[in-house]
């Protein structure tokens, strides 16, 4: 178990105090001040966006935090468990060459674990990734009654009954917990879930989920920091047209529709490979799901679902990450298990910059042809089958090593260029704009979100003395690639984000001959 999982369990739900003996966790007593900061001898520590930031003293500048029960119960005095920062140190430049085995898709496996709650029978998932995201979802499904184990390398889940319909208190599972609504409503008629990411009901993406479930007969209201949902008459089929082809909303409606009375039609549905893999799993469980033309999915509800055995598709994001790693460093890599069908747009873009690939029976080889010089392009992100938004960050780094100027237009998320500040510290030349620098229809047009970037190519990268903080999964792998391309030793912190999304990253890097170490 990783230290992040251990530490989160310490403060889970705030029901009781616990001691932590992990060598990287330090226990510090403190007291809230009127300004909301924590006072202790080493320096002032203030809460900022779910983390503790140390104003002074000998601890790391930014640290994951957990509080003991006394803080969660509202008293003034409490204990904070501070994790001493771990660093991933990479000395570059290093050419990435060799073979890497691509793991199961994070964005599919986690949703399939939630889907297992729809049946009382056993669900077996092969090729699941060993990452912290799976630990997070495991906490959630075990909380509501699932028995989870491994058998011959497969993840085995069985939920004979729902032990509780309340999943509040699992702060790390906030974002995915909304997907548990359908299973809890079908099997218990009630669900209590945390408000996702602190959002209130209003003009937020979570509205797509809630509006659809309400149209299917759910009654949902806010109570403090939680959503309370009821379905006294059960869920029924309906016709939903999503304002945007949201992946999460499409998944939630699918999970609700498979056991709802009657037919549910989803227009403008997301059709990512991970969703189609979820559809195939649900079909194996007994669901009736049709894929129509023009982003339409139709579901005929069935009385019950059975267990199944399913193999999770390979992670196309991981495959693209290692491809960018090799191309940005002038190397060659075989991504075993990568599938051409899931990466068509990415593969086209690889050739557009002057690189190439070869599809083999069990994977894809990425390389820069001899004598070829990579060139900049105009790139626009879109929902599938467009260029995946999770491919954008590592590919933007790759564009810094291409000749000429590139333009990147992000149409899926409104603020996904924060990582460029860190790349610019390493020598990149990336300017972010709040205008649409592209031709695709964009819901951010005129809203002044920083969602476009101009990248000046062929900029040499160089390590800096201070550690660079990772703040999300995809930004993290982008900074790893930058460190491999940069001259000197780069130290990265915030490794819990990489642990959440990439299986055995350090081991895979070292398997490619990369000189990288993880240390305190």
Cis peptide before 216 (omega within 30 of 0): no
Cβ atoms 492, 464 nearer than 8 A: no
Q: What is the DSSP string of 182-211?
A: HHHHHHHSEEEEEPGGGPPSSSSTHHHHHH
- Partners of 226 in beta bridges: 194, 223
Rg of the chain on CA atoms, in Å: 23
With tokens 């194996």, the residue in question is: 284
Q: What DSSP element (H or E) covers 118?
A: none
Distances (CA, A) of 107 to 74, 176, 364, 386, 427: 36, 10, 21, 17, 32
Q: What is the DSSP string of 357-383?
A: EEEETTEEEEEPPTT---B--EEEB-S
Calpha distance 328→314 (Å, rounded): 23
Closest CA to 444 of 435, 453, 433: 435
Q: What DSSP element (H or E) covers 19?
A: none
Instruction: Note the residue count of the chain.
Output: 520
Phi/psi of residue 233, nearest 5 degrees = -105, 10
Is 415 noted as a catalytic residue in this protein? no
Report the half-sphere exposure of 459 (CA within 13 A, side-chain side).
22
Instruction: Tell me the two tokens of residue 156.
Output: 């085995």
Cβ atoms 495, 520 nearer than 8 A: no
Calpha distance 203→207 (Å, rounded): 7
Active-site residue (options: 199, 362, 378, 415): 199
Specify burial of residue 471 (Cβ count, 10 A radius: 0-12, 13-18, 19+). middle
Calpha distance 87→469 (Å, rounded): 10
Calpha distance 55→49 (Å, rounded): 15
Closest CA to 10 of 82, 59, 74, 63: 82
Instruction: Tell me the two tokens of residue 38.
Output: 């924590």
With tokens 């190439």, the residue in question is: 356
Q: What is the DSSP string of 445-468?
A: TTTT---EEEEE-SPPPB--SS-E
Where in the sequence numbering do the catalytic residues fall? Answer: 199
């Amino acid at each position: 178990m990783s230290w992040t999982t251990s530490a989160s369990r310490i403060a889970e739900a705030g029901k009781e105090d616990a001691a932590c003996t992990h060598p990287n966790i330090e226990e510090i007593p403190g007291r809230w001040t009127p300004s909301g900061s924590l006072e202790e001898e080493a320096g002032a520590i203030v809460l900022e966006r779910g983390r503790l930031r140390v104003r002074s003293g000998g601890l790391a500048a930014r640290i994951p935090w957990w509080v003991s029960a006394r803080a969660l119960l509202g008293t003034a005095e409490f204990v904070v468990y501070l994790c001493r920062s771990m660093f991933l140190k990479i000395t570059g430049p290093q050419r990435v060459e060799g073979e890497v085995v691509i793991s199961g898709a994070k964005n599919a496996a986690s949703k399939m674990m939630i889907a297992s709650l729809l049946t009382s029978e056993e669900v077996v998932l092969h090729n699941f990734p060993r990452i912290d995201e799976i630990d997070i979802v495991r906490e959630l499904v075990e909380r509501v009654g699932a028995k989870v184990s491994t058998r011959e390398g497969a993840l085995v889940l069985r939920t004979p009954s729902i032990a509780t319909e309340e999943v509040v208190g699992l702060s790390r599972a906030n974002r995915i917990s909304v997907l548990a609504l359908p299973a809890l409503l079908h099997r218990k008629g009630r669900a209590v879930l945390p408000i996702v990411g602190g959002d209130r009901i209003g003009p937020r993406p979570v509205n797509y989920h809630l509006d659809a479930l309400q149209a299917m007969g759910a009654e949902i209201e806010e109570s403090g920091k939680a959503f309370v949902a009821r379905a006294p008459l059960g869920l029924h089929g309906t016709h939903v047209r999503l304002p945007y082809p949201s992946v999460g909303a499409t998944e939630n409606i699918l999970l609700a529709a498979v056991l709802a009375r009657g037919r549910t039609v989803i227009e403008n549905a997301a059709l990512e490979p991970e969703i189609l893999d979820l559809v195939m799993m649900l079909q194996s469980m007994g669901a009736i799901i049709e894929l129509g033309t023009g982003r339409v999915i139709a579901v005929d509800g069935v009385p019950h679902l059975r267990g199944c055995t399913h193999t999770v598709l390979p992670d196309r994001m991981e495959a693209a990450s290692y491809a960018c790693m090799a191309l940005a460093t002038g190397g060659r890599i075989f991504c075993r298990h990568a599938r051409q069908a899931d990466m068509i747009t990415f593969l086209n873009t690889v050739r557009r910059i002057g690189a190439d690939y070869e599809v083999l029976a069990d994977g894809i080889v990425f390389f820069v042809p001899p004598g070829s010089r990579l060139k900049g392009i105009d790139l626009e992100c879109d929902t599938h089958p467009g260029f995946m938004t999770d491919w954008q960050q590592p590919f933007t780094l790759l564009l810094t090593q291409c000749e000429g100027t590139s333009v990147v237009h992000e149409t899926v998320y409104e603020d996904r260029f924060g990582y460029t500040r860190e790349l610019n510290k390493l020598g990149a030349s990336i300017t972010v704009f709040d205008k649409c620098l592209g031709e695709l229809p964009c819901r951010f047009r005129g809203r002044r979100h920083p969602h476009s970037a101009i990248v000046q190519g062929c900029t040499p990268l160089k390590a800096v003395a201070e550690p660079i903080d990772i703040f999300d999964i995809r930004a993290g792998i982008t900074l790893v690639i930058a460190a491999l391309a940069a001259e000197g030793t780069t130290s990265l912190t915030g490794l819990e984000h990489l642990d959440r999304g990439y299986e055995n990253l350090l081991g895979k890097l070292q398997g490619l001959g990369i000189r990288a170490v993880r240390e305190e």
